[in-house]
Amino acid sequence: MTLTMSCILVPDSRSAEHARHAKELGYAWAWFYDSPALYTDVWMRLCQAAERTSRIGLGTSVIVPSNRHPMTTASAIATLVDVAGDRVCVGVGTGFTARVAMGQPPLPWADVEEYVATVQALLRGEVVDWEGAAVQMLHSPGLAPPLPIEVPIVFAADGPKGQAVARRLGDGVFATRTPVPGFDWSTVLTVGTVLGDGESPDSERVLAAAGHAGGVLLHFLHTTGQLPPEDEKIWLKGYEAVPADRRHLAMHYGHLVHLNEQDKPYVTGARLAEWGLAMSPEGWANHFEQVEKAGGTEVAYQPAGPDIRRELEAFSEAFHRYSGS
């Protein structure tokens, strides 16, 4: 098994150009986040990227069923296929960020499975029942690619329920930090920054480029009940002034982009190094080796900070040094 390198991008006015540059650096896929409260529309940005590139794969990471009617998603997939051809992949999840940022819990996996099965049936041209009514893709010739449309589906599935759905309906899985073994396509979300020679994790550049990763880790550990009680008590003091019914808004401001004011005192360079979010090229090589040994087939790196090109280039250099390519 050979590990491949991809990137994940925040959908914004620069993301199409970042996808183009990523392909030049050897990234196989450009995945785009889908979180409407935080970023601009994923499908519009993917189409922009498709028009500026000719080879790199383009995918969602990840859409959340509750945000769109299945017909809307099927039509969006058809639109992207019309522009990008066979370079399209659709990532689907329960909404850890997209729903929690709007004050809602992640969806049950049964709902996700029903939704994806419906979208797949629509793309095959079938009549399906949704919300008590028969629906079908009714595009006249020339208004969309001919049916059936087949695109790979990957699921953001860290746990057994999601992995079971992925085996039934999907082509692979997407996980954070630790790969899911047993799949031919097992992608690992990777965040952080590559340290320069002699660079301190406490430097202004490192905190700007990797601080967001520390904030996301805190939010994940808090949401899943894994943050040590003493650490959580100290960290949550920063949110005491925020009304409880608005706290999810404050926590998600800057999510996967930059540190918010509440998290800044807690996310230090030392913690970034401890959490494996600010490492030398050698440290990243060790990470790649661990991912590959654990069954991962792809690392998907999300750059952040004021210089996205630098982050993409430094990560690519570290990866190619590891892979010998």
Reported as a single tens digit per residue, the pLDDT across 23-62 is 999 999 999 999 999 999 999 999 999 999 999 999 999 9
Question: Rounded to two decimals, what is the model's pTM?
Answer: 0.95
Q: How many CB atoms lie within 10 A of CB 13?
A: 9
DSSP β-bridge partners for residue 300:
6, 189
CA distance 172 to 46: 20
Reported as a single tens digit per residue, the pLDDT across 261-291 is 999 988 999 999 999 999 999 999 999 999 9
DSSP β-bridge partners for residue 256:
none
Do 287 and 3 form a contact (C-beta atoms < 8 A)? Answer: no
For residue 243, whether the previous peptide bond is cis, meaning omega lies within 30 degrees of 0, is no
pLDDT at 1: 55
Chain centroid to CA 151: how far?
Answer: 18
Q: Where are the beta strands (DSSP E) in the chain?
A: 4-9, 29-32, 57-63, 88-92, 128-130, 133-135, 153-156, 172-176, 186-191, 193-194, 278-279, 298-302
DSSP code for 65 = G
pLDDT at 51: 98
Radius of gyration of the chain (CA): 20
Q: What is the pLDDT along the chain (325 residues), one digit of tens a residue?
A: 589 999 999 999 999 999 999 999 999 999 999 999 999 999 999 999 999 999 999 999 999 999 999 999 999 999 999 999 999 999 999 998 899 999 999 999 999 999 999 999 999 999 999 999 999 999 999 999 999 999 999 999 989 999 999 999 999 999 988 999 999 999 999 999 999 999 999 999 999 999 999 998 888 888 778 888 888 888 888 899 999 999 999 999 999 999 999 999 889 999 999 999 999 999 999 999 999 999 999 999 999 999 999 999 999 999 999 998 7
177-182 long-range contacts (CB < 8 A, ≥24 apart) are 178/294, 179/291, 179/294, 179/295, 179/296, 179/297, 180/295, 181/294, 181/295, 182/295
Residue of 296, 178, 304, 158 whose CA lies nearest to 224: 158
CA distance 274 to 40: 32
CA distance 61 to 108: 18
CA distance 53 to 31: 14
